[in-house]
Amino acid sequence: MIGHGVHEHKARSSPNRSGRAVRGCAAVLPGVWLVVAACGTDTSPKPVTFAGSAVGREADVIRRQLERFEAARPDISVEVRATPDAADTRRQLYVQWLNARAADPDVLQLDVIWTAEFAAAGWILDLAPFAPPARDFFAAAIAANRWDGRLYALPWFVDVGMLYWRSDLADRPPATFDELLAQTARAGLPLGFVWQGARYEGLVTVFLEHLGGFGGRILDEAGLVVIDSDEAVRALTFMRDAIYEHGAVPADVLAWQEEQTRFAFQNGQAAFMRNWPYAVALLQDPSASRVAGRFGVAPMPAGPGGASTAALGGSQLAINARSDRPEAAYALVEFLLEPAQMLERAELAGQYPSRPALYDGDRLAGALGVPPADARRVIERATARPVTPVYSELSAILQVHLHRALTRQAEPRAALETAAADLRALLRRTGLEN
């Protein structure tokens, strides 16, 4: 059975002496879950519970797929635990559940930056006993789901930062930041190049892409803080100078998130935009977009000594470490990650499959709104944000100091040196310093 349970006040099953589950009859009043009376003994296995996004097109897709799963596996029923769509609110709910050592939900949809935190806390299972086919997925997505050498989640779909460019104004997208500045000047549009510069997580992803473009990193392979390197200073200086020296980026972006940048590009005011794949379908709508049919997507440019970099996002599937039915939970994960399910999700929800092989087929071509080869070129440049249990704290530190530099309250080098000192103190305080 597929159903939507109440988040925090679900009537839990308890085993009787025969090992069977005794369930209660329940009545639902607004905001309240009441157990009314015992219904007797239920001999059916406990349902596997799935927690994740269950609104809009995503809800339609997951409902279809769970129905097919139950038809294929009549021994496993599934219940959906609807969660808040806002990522930070969903994470808070997960932390409440898992910190309370709850066995439910069994399968969790995680943001890519949560895996290390949940793994280090002992909240999700090491997937090694299930022998998942890690090589079948994009390498960057698998790397982001490892902690302490072990794989704790599998990528359900991927999200990447990409460069949107006006194909009616240029023959090809810029490969370097210098080319981007030159093309922006030639385009002569009011806003030039727009990106997410408000003091929130989006700013960290934009900086990560500039940082990789100049050859820098936040943490090195040994986990040491290197955000104060010369490469990082050059990247942040370029971002600042693109606003105040070159006029290629409007200062307005320092208060913008994804939707403000999309509207600017969609209304024909910007030549370039850094954004996530969700914008493609909206930009292709001729009834609302002035650039429908006149844009393409490409990898972000690179600077001297660096490489084109795309910040990795997306959702992962993990199993609650205290699940009563881990094998059944993994069977559900395995089903949702099958190629057929990923292709359907791409077609109905526009989400990018995490299996590289799917980008070579014909079916994906009509689903993404852009050529699959172009999408794959971006994904192959994907770079995870630092894989650490304290990523949320690390990001909060970076947001403050990056924004100070971009609003000219601090010089880039001074801002990054202060950020590096704060990050080293964080890692020391949490016992993560190498």
d(CA 204, CA 412): 15
pLDDT at position 380 is: 95
- Using CA atoms, how far residue 74 sits from 1, 188, 334, in Å, is 10, 61, 16
Confidence check: pLDDT of 378 > 70: yes
Confidence of residue 44 (pLDDT cuts 50, 70, 90): low
User: In percent, how much of the chain has pLDDT > 70?
Assistant: 90
d(CA 245, CA 229): 23
d(CA 434, CA 429): 12
- Write the CB contacts of 140 (distance below 8 Å, at least 6 apart in sequence): 312, 379, 382, 383, 384
Mean pLDDT over 130-159 rounds to 97
Confidence check: pLDDT of 42 > 90: no
Confidence of residue 365 (pLDDT cuts 50, 70, 90): confident
d(CA 25, CA 153): 35
pLDDT at position 106 is: 98
d(CA 68, CA 280): 29
Strands (E), 243-294: 270-275
Contact 136, 376 (CB under 8 A): no
Per-residue pLDDT reduced to its tens digit, 98-124? 999 999 999 999 999 999 999 999 999
Mean pLDDT over 123-130 rounds to 98
pLDDT at position 3 is: 45
- Using CA atoms, how far residue 251 sits from 97, 245, 269, in Å, is 41, 11, 14
By three-state DSSP, how is residue 14 classified?
strand
d(CA 42, CA 22): 6
Quote the mean pLDDT of the chain: 90
Q: What are the strands of the beta sheet with 192-194, ordered from one edge? A: 192-194, 270-275, 162-166, 295-298
Mean pLDDT over 224-241 rounds to 98
Domain with CATH 3.40.190.10 in the chain: 48-159+313-382, 160-311+387-429
pLDDT at position 333 is: 98
**Single-letter code of the amino acid located at 391:** Y
Confidence check: pLDDT of 29 > 70: no
d(CA 107, CA 316): 10
pLDDT at position 43 is: 56
Question: Positive or negative CA dihedral for 341, 346, 351, 356?
Answer: positive
User: For the chain, how many residues are written?
Assistant: 434
Confidence of residue 39 (pLDDT cuts 50, 70, 90): very low
pLDDT at position 87 is: 87
How deeply is 184 buried, as exposed, middle or buried, from its count of CB atoms within 10 A (0-12, 13-18, 19+)? Answer: buried
Confidence of residue 16 (pLDDT cuts 50, 70, 90): very low
- Using CA atoms, how far residue 132 sits from 152, 156, 322, 342, 359, in Å, is 10, 13, 19, 16, 21
Contact 355, 339 (CB under 8 A): yes
Contact 194, 270 (CB under 8 A): yes
d(CA 217, CA 114): 20
DSSP assignment of 36-103, as one string?
EEEEEEE-SPPPEEEEE--SHHHHHHHHHHHHHHHHH-TT--EEEEE--SSHHHHHHHHHHHHHTT--
Mean pLDDT over 329-346 rounds to 97
What does the DSSP 8-state code read for residue 69? H
φ, ψ at 55 (rounded to 5°): -130, 155
Strands (E), 327-424: 352-353, 382-383
pTM (predicted TM-score): 0.88
Confidence check: pLDDT of 23 > 90: no
**Matching CATH number, 48-159+313-382, of 3.40.50.300, 3.40.50.720, 3.90.260.10, 3.40.190.10:** 3.40.190.10
pLDDT at position 85 is: 83
Confidence of residue 262 (pLDDT cuts 50, 70, 90): very high
Mean pLDDT over 414-428 rounds to 98
pLDDT at position 38 is: 39
User: In percent, how much of the chain has pLDDT > 90?
Assistant: 83
Per-residue pLDDT reduced to its tens digit, 299-332? 999 999 999 999 999 999 999 999 999 999 999 9
Confidence check: pLDDT of 26 > 70: no
Confidence check: pLDDT of 257 > 80: yes
Mean pLDDT over 319-346 rounds to 97
Which of residues 378 and 369 earns the better pLDDT score? 378
Confidence check: pLDDT of 6 > 80: no
Per-residue pLDDT reduced to its tens digit, 168-178? 999 999 999 99
Instruction: Let me know if domain 160-311+387-429 sits in CATH 3.40.190.10.
Output: yes
**Single-letter code of the amino acid located at 393:** E
Strands (E), 134-190: 146-147, 150-151, 154-160, 162-166
